[in-house]
Amino acid sequence: MTPRETILQALFAQLQTIPDARVLRNEVLPEVIPAGGLIILRDGETGEPETMLSPISYYWQHRAMLDIAVQKGEAAERDAALDTLFEDIATALSSDRTLGGLCDLVTPLAPEIGSLGINQAPSVKTAIVLIELIYVTDGQLN
């Protein structure tokens, strides 16, 4: 397994420690948002690595993405639920900022917040949070 996939699996496992939220990886948005909220980890963009010589290695600033959704009846409830998920994500990621030594650093970036209106159903509040994964590999396909 490549270091990239190993890191993404470790990030997914760390996110699964978040209480009450359903955490998926690379799935489509389901029709029903669980009461505790939904977090979908997307593999994101690896970008172009910086090449280091002697020995040759590649420094990555990979940006994985979290699609986050909460569905509640009132706007204040949605705001509070989304804020709770942000706190839970921050707590989960800060518990091990190197994913057991697989990364040099794991950093969540500021959220981009939105909403979805659904006919005859409580509105959905959404957010996208990029997670910067900094790591080094010995090949570009790793």
The pLDDT tens digits for 63-97 are 999 999 999 888 899 999 999 999 999 999 999 99
pLDDT at residue number 121: 62
Q: What is the mean pLDDT of residues 111-121?
A: 76
Asked if 125 and 69 count as a contact pair (C-beta separation under 8 A), the reply is yes
Residue 9's pLDDT is what?
A: 98
pTM score, two decimals? 0.93
- At residue 120, the pLDDT reads 60
DSSP class of residue 33?
A: -
pLDDT at 51 over 80: yes
Please report the pLDDT score of residue 117 as a whole number.
67
Q: Indicate the Cα dihedral angle 81, 84, 88, 90, nearest 10°.
A: 120
Q: Which domains are seen in the chain, by residue range? A: 3-137 (3.30.2000)
Pairing between β-strand 22-25 and β-strand 38-45 as defined by DSSP bridges: parallel
Q: Which of 15-19, 20-24, 116-120, 126-130 has the lowest mean pLDDT?
A: 116-120
Give the residue from 132, 128, 100, 105 showing the smallest Cα distance to 6. 100
Residue 104 pLDDT: 97
